[in-house]
Amino acid sequence: MVLRQSAAYVKKKMGPRYSLFAKMNILILVLFIPIIILFTYSNEIATSIISKELRASNIKQLSFLSSQIDSRINQTVDFVITFSKDPNVEKFNGLNIWDDLYDRMQTKYVVQEKMMLQSGITTIWPVTYTVYSQQNKEAISNNKDTVKYDEAYLNNNMTGEWTYGDGRASVPDDQKSFHWFYTDSFGHQGALKGSNLVVHASFGHENIENMLDTYKAGGQGDPIFYRKGEAPILNRSASKELARELVGFLDDRQLEGTEQEVVRLDSKNYLVSAVKSPQLNWYLVDIVPLDQMLGPISFSRNLFYLSMALLFAVGISASVLLYRNVQRPIIKLIRGLQSVQRGDFSVQIKENVNNEFAFLFYRFNEMSRQIQDLVEKVLGEKLRAREATLKQLQAQINPHFLYNCLGYIINMAQMKEEEAVVSMAYNLSAYYRYTTRMERQTGSVEEEIKLIVNYLDIQKLRNERIYYTIDIPKEMLKQQVPRLLIQPVVENAVIHGVGKSYSSGEIRIRGEVSGGLCKIYIDDDGPGMNPEQQDALIRKMKEPLQEEMGCGLWNTNQRIMHQFGDGSYLHFTKSPLGGFRTEIIWQMPIEEEKRYHPNIQGDPLHANDHSR
């Protein structure tokens, strides 16, 4: 497509004003442009995919780090809650009326030993625990410094949440600690009562630094722990100048949940990702240098552009030799092949050349002529074969019906049923007037229904139990179908449905048009079939005709498939009347479907109910 458009553009716009050398050079340029555009597009796609993966990976890593921090905080919280229920801790907060001094010291020692043991489980996340007894105005801690009971201090910090700092004065630029105060008063975490036990857990910024260092050792980022208005917690090898610029950028934004953005800091592009820690309400922020991560892709892109420039120079040098002796003949062959691909087999290549391409042009012209002749022959054979198949299938139906009618006439004549004989002879005459019109292999649904009425009237004379109703929409009556399409199905309902039961006798024929399909339902109230027999019959319709199987239904199915395609078929199921239902389904031709308007309901053809 690009080659054809390029050549046409050069021929139309350039004309004889430019030399062949200039035209070939411009054609090479046009050929190079799509390659460069496609590469640029693919390079952008690759860069976009890598950037997305980098973003997703960075968010996953930050989320994992946040979950690790929250997990350690949850472990601390779980220990505090469990520890507050420890018998020794409750004893420490008790009245101690009957305990001597040694027992009280032993209790304090056991409580302190448990706090030190819990804090020493991991070196990366040490926690300081303090137990305050409001009952005894005492405090125990695993801190190396002595802790005294201070009720005002407790009241100021009873928030029920983790806080950064505990309200006490601190050294400027010094990192604070995270604190959480828990009271054993159920439902009153924000207030102290007269006998409360308070457990205080705190950890320093060193814990966060340890986690940030571990995270940085496994990736390309430079993480920090940030909250607006507080001094950020940096990893120990972080660039303070870059962190200062990053904090300035974050202070100007309103962070919510998970954030990610490309930011230019220190004249470089960085991917800034932020994940909120739900326990501490701080943000884990990671900054990744995009230029460093995407540098190899940029180098590969530039190398490709340099290679394309060199190839273009070589192409310009070779264009003089290639154009007249190779390029132009190849273009003609490509155009001819494209015409053949579109179905134009009459294409011929006309070119006065005295090289190897002259033989190729001659063989191509011969090939296209032979293909055109072969296609015409195959198409004609297919049409003739289709017509012969339709005629052969229809011919199998005519004797089948004739044998039944003649047998009926013989039986009625022997029984002296003159009226039935006359009626059958009359209808048989009408039937052959209809079927011997060989100029058309199809008939309208209206003609088929008239034939069915004659047939059912004959059967009613033979069996007074038979009565029938016919309800066909007006829009369906003009549809063209293979001749004798419905009659074998109705005959099957009479013989195998009504004829096999002394209590049945109703035949109901109804049609409908919906969804581009025409459907005719033939129901009887006979004994019917069980589901296994119905499935077996449906399978036989798709198999070749077998000797033990009657040809009426099978031929009808084959004829409707040949006429309307594989989407048309016979289907068998249980009838609402209690017997057997046969559905004749065929696809409405496109031109008929366009003329059919489902919102316009015509009066259906109703044959009078023939009852007993």
**Per-residue 3-state assignment (H helix, E strand, C coil) for 378-395:** HHHHHHHHHHHHHHHHHH
The CA–CA distances, whole Å, from 601 to 508, 528, 587, 604, 605 equal 21, 33, 20, 9, 12
Return the CATH fold of 442-607. Answer: Heat Shock Protein 90 (3.30.565)
Which band of pLDDT confidence, cut at 50, 70 and 90, is reported for residue 585? very high
**Contact present, 275 and 63 (Cβ < 8 Å):** yes
H-helix or E-strand spanning residue 549 = none
- pLDDT for res 610: 43
Separation CA 345–CA 132 (nearest Å): 99
Separation CA 323–CA 235 (nearest Å): 65
In the block, tokens 């870059």 appear at 242
Which band of pLDDT confidence, cut at 50, 70 and 90, is reported for residue 611? very low
Separation CA 394–CA 483 (nearest Å): 7
Which band of pLDDT confidence, cut at 50, 70 and 90, is reported for residue 157? confident
Residue 5 CB-half CA count within 13 A: 5
User: Tens of pLDDT along 89-98?
Assistant: 888 887 765 5
Helices and strands per DSSP (H, E), number in the chain: 17, 18
Q: What residues have CB less than 8 Å from 452, skipping those under 6 apart?
A: 470, 486, 487, 490, 509
Separation CA 286–CA 271 (nearest Å): 8
- CA proximity to 490, closest of 477, 478, 506: 506
Q: Given phi > 0 = left and psi -120 to 50 = alpha, else beta, which region is 141?
A: beta
Which band of pLDDT confidence, cut at 50, 70 and 90, is reported for residue 3? very low
Which band of pLDDT confidence, cut at 50, 70 and 90, is reported for residue 602? very low
- pLDDT for res 550: 57
- pLDDT for res 14: 45
User: Tens of pLDDT along 477-496?
Assistant: 988 888 778 888 888 888 88
More confidently predicted of 200 and 54: 200
User: Tens of pLDDT along 7-19?
Assistant: 455 455 444 455 5
State phi, psi for 289 to the nearest 5 degrees: -75, 110
Q: Does the structure show a pLDDT above 60 at 189? A: no
**Contact present, 205 and 213 (Cβ < 8 Å):** no
Most trustworthy range by pLDDT among 109-118, 168-177, 384-393, 405-414: 109-118
More confidently predicted of 483 and 571: 571
Most trustworthy range by pLDDT among 190-199, 433-442, 493-502: 493-502
Sheet architecture: strand order including 197-204: 138-141, 128-133, 197-204, 177-183, 163-164
- pLDDT for res 16: 46
- pLDDT for res 595: 66
The full length of the chain comes to: 612
Give me 108's structure tokens.
């304090």
- pLDDT for res 20: 55
More confidently predicted of 598 and 48: 48
Give me 230's structure tokens.
């507080």
Alpha helices in 15-84 (DSSP H): 20-84
Most trustworthy range by pLDDT among 245-249, 253-257, 305-309: 245-249
Query: Helices 356-414 and 551-564: crossing angle, nearest 10°?
Result: 140
Give me 286's structure tokens.
């990671």
Average pLDDT, the chain: 78
Q: What residues have CB less than 8 Å from 73, skipping those under 6 apart?
A: 162, 279, 280
CA pseudo-torsion sign 447, 449, 455, 457 = negative
User: Tens of pLDDT along 284-333?
Assistant: 998 888 877 777 777 788 888 888 888 877 777 777 676 666 667 777 77
**Contact present, 205 and 212 (Cβ < 8 Å):** no
Cα end-to-end span (Å), the chain: 75
- pLDDT for res 555: 78
- CA proximity to 480, closest of 539, 562, 563, 603: 563
- CA proximity to 164, closest of 284, 280, 285, 283: 280
Q: What residues have CB less than 8 Å from 436, skipping those under 6 apart?
A: none
**What's the average model confidence in pLDDT over 376-395?**
60
The CA–CA distances, whole Å, from 311 to 4, 320, 323 equal 22, 15, 17
- pLDDT for res 609: 45
Q: What residues have CB less than 8 Å from 122, skipping those under 6 apart?
A: none
Which band of pLDDT confidence, cut at 50, 70 and 90, is reported for residue 521? very high
State phi, psi for 423 to the nearest 5 degrees: -60, -40
Listed in order, strand segments (DSSP E) in 184-267 are 197-204, 224-226, 233-234, 259-265
- pLDDT for res 174: 66
Which band of pLDDT confidence, cut at 50, 70 and 90, is reported for residue 600? very low
Separation CA 141–CA 24 (nearest Å): 89
Sheet architecture: strand order including 224-226: 233-234, 224-226, 282-289, 268-277, 259-265
